[in-house]
């Protein structure tokens, strides 16, 4: 039996790297105390721990608590932070936990895995990274009963919670909302940056108290919270979990808390006009002065300034640029090359000088250790976080870490990124230690005045601040609207959504000009814009190749109206213009059209001035704007198409053409030559109707075995481990195609269930009765593992058992037989799944047209009528719930199915129920039923019950599950 005392063993096994010869890492006292607290009293409201003491290990605590099965534990853990690079750091931490559970190296991880994993599931802990853009598959969590860690930003996780997920189709929104809004632990790092989301989430769950599902828990984290004062103790009590004397006396934690850091202030004389160039030059010169024998960090407040400093340093020094405004694949390539030289456990005896130029992206959770830090002035919380990367673990070869805060004299209260908080913090620091005026030969290490910036010293210093002083140095908090029931009722209506809709942005960020970012994807060889959508549908964009940027920055760049120098790595900067357009169609543009992409079959061409916040757009690579280091609006060089390096949740796809050769050239001509060998093989297969994978495998294996760690090896490993298949591609409608074929992981995929044919896709033909029996069994299993009430479980199973009855319509059966009416009529049993290729939309269109099935009709409508007759007198179920779960099992009926009147109605006879007329399938009671069920089961609770049925259906369809013998 698992006990709290085994947490130290679990922690050591997870973080030993799988090497039993290594000394196992041990948790800090605050981590052990947090677990005991969760077990005994549940989660605290907040965790306040200084940087450098492993805040991300709250994930370890949460997973272990889930394995213990305590009341405070939750099934899904969401780690929310508005720093893109750090979202990825937390993701890597989560992956280490998942890997240790998949391949246990000790008794404790083996026991934890046994407690968490379903008996028939091959995944113990699912790990997902939410970023902008669209994904290859609609379900980021395959089972609602699976334990998971999800990392993401406020926009990505918050929008999903509020039923308006960015980049999520109307029909999928309720699934995402259910998975975020039930049985979840939502950890919000540096919560002072996301106070609106904290307030909204807590209020939402208070207003949904009737939910049948387990209520989420919200925990805030910070390394910069104001210290608790004596007068607050009665009100606050112990709702905040903090470090204790045990941490201060701990051998490792105590050393980190007192790590020597000297902070110097340098003032740079500037004007508003000269600030960009003068400050960049000063920061680069200071970095050069400190570079010898050190790893130096230069942290700026904007992406443009980081780029300017980097360009000044890159030719004379070994330097790297790290910003959150880069594609994850590019970021992974950079970190694979440079992270070993930055990480806290690097070999310092072999250390080579390195200058790291970065933005706010390294403030939170980045487990790097700098010997010296040059930073722009910033609000107090930001400076504390940046100082946390300096001499982080007290192992520097130098006697102390050197920190230099650079402040331009022209900076006032109108700072475009931080507002008045930046100046207020500088003035407070300048009252404590006298600034030095910048000169070209300045050596900050020789300055007479400096401030002790060790974590304990800073905490003692900030403890003397008044609440007003703290508030001034944190910046102006935007007005946060009060969440009301009618807001939730509006958002719960996902299909169709109200028009006009209630915006969610004020509830995620407060009343500001903020808008969600635009996600930009570059693709090579697009050719005629009329064929862009067709080409992109074959290999849809995924998050790994997406660059998220402020809407104003993208518009200015595409419209050639100047660079947005204020763009930072904050997800909620102080100034972003609102509205879909800030210009008109007469203004010249860098490119006349972009592709606005929402998913397969949902893409439109748009002019640059028509793009809106939240869009995902696809651009030709020759438009420029990005390089290996990220966003570079001044660059006109072609952008590397990196779609072939995307892991796609373990289901990669390689295009056999020049893009693959160009992408692999990043690792050298050897790999480019091997990629060309694959393309040559595809050319040899040009006239082969069904090419096989075997001729490609030796080259793929050679590439994998010789590739260094990083995206290329990850993709090749996943591809070879999933029985790759080769598909020859014919030219698109205009006769042009930039690649000869695809090598893809051979894993079952589903079509888009928004269409009648797509909802009936599977890897092979499956008969209706066995399919429905399998979905019912799987849905019951999910519901039982979620410990739902008996009546609810029975209702879910009944809905799943009859969810596809509407497919008994003879026209629908003809469609499933590819339009062959005779085959449908002589079939022994109706089909549930056609076995057609879900990506072959043309075949589906031909089959539907031949069948006579009205375009836009939904089989769920007839299914709901049939199940209503079946369940009305069944005392074991809630009939209204069963009807709704059937009507909504493809995401419609929230609150109304498309009201399509059958122009050629037919009669469908169900042996044990009766005859039904397809002319009578519009259910005008569905909206009121939806309202009543939301009140009974909760908004997120009802969405979860739908999700159980839908994910059971998707699971069985993807795996061709069927149960032949049913009672």
The string of pLDDT tens digits covering residues 656-691 is 999 999 999 999 999 999 999 999 999 999 888 789
Question: Highest-confidence range of 493-502, 791-800, 846-855, by mean pLDDT?
Answer: 791-800
Q: What is the mean pLDDT of residues 681-702?
A: 92
Predicted confidence band of residue 281 (pLDDT cuts 50, 70, 90): very high
DSSP reduced 3-state for 914: strand
Q: Please say if the pLDDT value at position 717 is more than 90.
A: yes
Predicted confidence band of residue 829 (pLDDT cuts 50, 70, 90): very high
The string of pLDDT tens digits covering residues 339-379 is 889 888 888 888 889 999 999 888 876 678 999 999 999 99
d(CA 413, CA 424): 8
Predicted confidence band of residue 565 (pLDDT cuts 50, 70, 90): low
The string of pLDDT tens digits covering residues 12-58 is 999 986 565 566 789 999 999 999 999 999 999 999 998 888 899 99
Work out whether the CA dihedral 265, 270, 273, 275 comes out positive or negative. negative
Residue 659: closest CA among 684, 641, 646: 641
Residue 247: closest CA among 485, 29, 478, 499: 29
Q: Which of 83-97, 226-240, 400-414, 419-433 has the lowest mean pLDDT?
A: 226-240
Residue 966: closest CA among 780, 824, 809: 780
Q: Which of 46-55, 920-929, 941-950 has the lowest mean pLDDT?
A: 46-55
**What is the model's pLDDT at position 233?**
42
**What is the model's pLDDT at position 751?**
43
| 252-474 shares the fold of 4-242 | yes
Largest CA distance in the chain: 94
**What is the model's pLDDT at position 627?**
96
| 8 A C-beta contact, residue 495 and residue 171 | yes
Q: In sequence order, which ranges of 841-938 are alpha helices (DSSP H)?
A: 841-851, 859-871, 879-887, 926-937
**What is the model's pLDDT at position 563?**
64
d(CA 247, CA 241): 13
**What is the model's pLDDT at position 689?**
78
Query: Which carries the bigger pLDDT value, residue 435 or residue 732?
Result: 435
d(CA 801, CA 774): 8
**What is the model's pLDDT at position 17?**
63
d(CA 635, CA 238): 53
Q: Where are the domains of the chain?
A: 4-242, 252-474, 513-645, 653-744, 758-958
Q: Please say if the pLDDT value at position 824 is more than 60.
A: yes
Q: What is the mean pLDDT of residues 697-705?
A: 97
At the topology level, CATH places domain 252-474 in Rossmann fold (3.40.50)
At the topology level, CATH places domain 4-242 in Rossmann fold (3.40.50)
| 8 A C-beta contact, residue 712 and residue 654 | no
Question: Highest-confidence range of 95-109, 126-140, 164-178, 224-238, by mean pLDDT?
Answer: 95-109
Q: Please say if the pLDDT value at position 226 is more than 90.
A: no
**What is the model's pLDDT at position 340?**
87
**What is the model's pLDDT at position 840?**
65
**What is the model's pLDDT at position 393?**
84
Q: In sequence order, which ranges of 445-531 are alpha helices (DSSP H)?
A: 455-462, 467-474, 485-492, 505-509
d(CA 694, CA 703): 15
Predicted confidence band of residue 587 (pLDDT cuts 50, 70, 90): low
d(CA 351, CA 348): 5
Q: What is the mean pLDDT of residues 949-961?
A: 93
Q: Please say if the pLDDT value at position 83 is more than 80.
A: no
The distance of Cα 773 from the centroid of its chain, to the nearest Å, equals: 34
**What is the model's pLDDT at position 131?**
63
The distance of Cα 484 from the centroid of its chain, to the nearest Å, equals: 27
Residue 741: closest CA among 724, 729, 753: 729
Predicted confidence band of residue 136 (pLDDT cuts 50, 70, 90): very low
Q: Please say if the pLDDT value at position 322 is more than 60.
A: yes
**What is the model's pLDDT at position 580?**
43
Predicted confidence band of residue 573 (pLDDT cuts 50, 70, 90): very low
Query: Which carries the bigger pLDDT value, residue 168 or residue 923?
Result: 923
Predicted confidence band of residue 581 (pLDDT cuts 50, 70, 90): very low
**What is the model's pLDDT at position 964?**
84
Look up residue 885 and give its two tokens. 């779960």
**What is the model's pLDDT at position 582?**
46
Look up residue 271 and give its two tokens. 């004007």
**Please, what is the angle between helix 879-887 and helix 790-801, to 10°?**
40
**What is the model's pLDDT at position 51?**
83
Average pLDDT of the chain?
89
Q: Please say if the pLDDT value at position 586 is more than 50.
A: yes
């Amino acid at each position: 039996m698992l006990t709290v005392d085994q947490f130290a063993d679990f922690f050591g096994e997870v973080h030993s790297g799988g090497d039993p010869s290594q000394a196992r890492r041990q948790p800090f006292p605050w981590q052990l105390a947090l677990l005991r607290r969760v077990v005994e009293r549940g989660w605290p409201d907040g965790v306040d721990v200084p940087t450098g003491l492993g805040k991300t290990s709250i994930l370890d605590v949460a997973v272990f608590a889930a394995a213990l099965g305590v009341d405070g534990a939750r099934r899904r853990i969401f780690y929310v932070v508005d720093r893109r690079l750090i979202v990825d750091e937390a993701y890597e931490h989560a992956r280490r936990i998942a890997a240790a559970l998949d391949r246990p190296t000790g008794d404790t991880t083996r026991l934890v895995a046994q407690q968490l994993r379903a008996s028939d599931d091959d995944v113990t802990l699912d790990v997902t990274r939410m970023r902008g853009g669209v994904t290859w598959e609609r379900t980021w969590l395959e089972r609602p009963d699976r334990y998971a860690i999800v990392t993401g930003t406020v926009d990505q996780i918050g929008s999903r919670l509020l039923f308006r997920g960015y980049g999520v189709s109307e029909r999928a929104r309720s699934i995402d909302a259910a998975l975020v809004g039930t049985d979840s632990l939502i950890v919000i790092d540096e919560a002072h940056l996301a106070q609106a989301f904290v307030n909204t989430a807590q209020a939402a769950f208070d207003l949904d108290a009737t939910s049948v599902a387990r209520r989420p828990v919200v925990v805030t984290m910070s390394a910069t919270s104001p210290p608790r004062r004596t007068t607050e103790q009665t009100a606050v009590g112990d709702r905040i979990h903090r470090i204790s004397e045990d941490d201060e006396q701990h051998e490792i934690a105590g050393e980190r808390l007192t790590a020597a850091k000297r902070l110097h202030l340098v003032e740079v004389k500037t004007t508003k006009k000269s600030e960009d160039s003068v400050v960049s030059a000063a920061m680069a010169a200071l970095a050069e002065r400190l570079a010898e024998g050190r790893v130096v960090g230069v942290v700026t407040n904007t992406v443009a300034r980081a780029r300017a400093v980097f360009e000044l340093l890159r030719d004379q020094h070994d330097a790297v640029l790290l910003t959150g405004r880069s594609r994850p694949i590019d970021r992974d390539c950079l970190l694979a090359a440079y992270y070993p030289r930055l990480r806290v456990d690097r070999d310092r005896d072999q250390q080579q000088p390195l200058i790291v130029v970065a933005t706010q992206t390294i403030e939170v959770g980045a487990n790097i250790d700098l010997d010296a830090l040059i930073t722009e002035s910033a609000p107090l919380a930001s400076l504390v976080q940046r100082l946390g990367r300096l001499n982080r673990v007290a192992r520097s070869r130098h006697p102390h870490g050197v920190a230099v805060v650079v402040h331009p004299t022209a900076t006032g209260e109108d700072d475009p990124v931080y507002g008045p908080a930046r100046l207020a913090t500088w003035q407070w620091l300048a009252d404590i230690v006298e600034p030095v005026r910048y000169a070209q030969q300045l050596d900050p290490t020789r300055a007479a005045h400096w401030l002790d910036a060790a974590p304990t010293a800073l905490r003692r210093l900030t403890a003397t601040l008044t609440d007003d002083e703290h508030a001034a140095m944190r910046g102006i908090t935007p007005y946060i609207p009060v969440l009301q029931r009618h807001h939730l009722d509006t958002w719960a209506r996902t299909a169709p959504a109200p028009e006009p809709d209630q915006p969610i942005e004020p509830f995620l960020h407060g009343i500001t000009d903020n808008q969600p970012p635009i996600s930009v994807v570059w693709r090579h060889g697009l050719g005629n814009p009329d064929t862009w959508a067709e080409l992109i549908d074959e290999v849809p964009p995924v998050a790994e190749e997406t660059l998220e940027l402020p809407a104003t920055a993208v518009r200015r760049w595409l419209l050639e109206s100047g660079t947005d120098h204020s763009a930072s790595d904050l997800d909620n900067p102080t100034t972003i213009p609102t509205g879909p357009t800030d210009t008109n169609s007469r203004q010249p543009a860098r490119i006349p059209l972009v592709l606005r992409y929402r998913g397969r079959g949902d893409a439109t061409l748009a002019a640059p001035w028509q793009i809106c916040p939240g869009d995902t757009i696809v651009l030709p690579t020759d438009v420029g704007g990005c390089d290996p280091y990220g966003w570079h609006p001044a660059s006109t060089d072609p952008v590397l198409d990196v779609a072939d390096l995307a892991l796609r949740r373990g289901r990669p796809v390689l295009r056999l053409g020049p893009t693959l050769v160009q992408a692999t050239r990043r690792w050298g001509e050897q790999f480019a030559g091997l990629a060309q060998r694959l393309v040559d093989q595809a050319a040899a297969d040009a006239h082969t109707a069904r090419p096989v994978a075997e001729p490609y495998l030796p080259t793929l294996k050679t590439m994998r075995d010789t590739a260094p760690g990083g995206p290329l090896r990850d993709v090749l490993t996943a591809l070879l481990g999933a029985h790759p298949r080769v598909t020859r591609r014919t030219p698109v409608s205009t006769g042009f195609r930039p690649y000869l074929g695809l090598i893809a992981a051979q894993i079952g995929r589903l079509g888009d269930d928004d269409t009648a044919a797509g909802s009936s896709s599977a890897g092979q033909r499956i008969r209706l009765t066995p399919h429905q029996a399998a979905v019912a069994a799987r849905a019951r299993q999910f519901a039982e593992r979620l410990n739902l009430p008996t009546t609810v479980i029975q209702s879910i199973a009944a809905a799943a058992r009859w969810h596809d009855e509407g497919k008994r319509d003879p026209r629908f059966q003809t469609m499933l037989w590819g339009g062959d009416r005779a085959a449908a009529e002589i079939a022994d049993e109706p089909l549930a799944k056609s076995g057609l290729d879900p990506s072959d939309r043309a075949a589906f269109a031909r089959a539907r047209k031949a069948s006579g099935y009205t375009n836009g009709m939904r089989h769920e409508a007839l299914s709901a009528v049939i199940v209503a007759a079946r369940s009305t007198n069944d005392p074991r179920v809630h009939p209204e719930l069963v009807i709704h779960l059937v009507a909504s099992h493809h995401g419609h009926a929230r609150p109304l199915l498309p009201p399509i009147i059958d122009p050629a109605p037919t009669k469908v006879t169900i042996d044990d129920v009766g005859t039904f007329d397809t002319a009578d399938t519009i259910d005008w009671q569905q909206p009121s039923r939806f309202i009543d069920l939301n009140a009974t089961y909760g908004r997120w609770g009802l969405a979860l019950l739908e999700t159980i049925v839908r994910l059971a259906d998707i699971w069985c369809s993807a795996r061709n599950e069927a149960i032949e013998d049913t009672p």
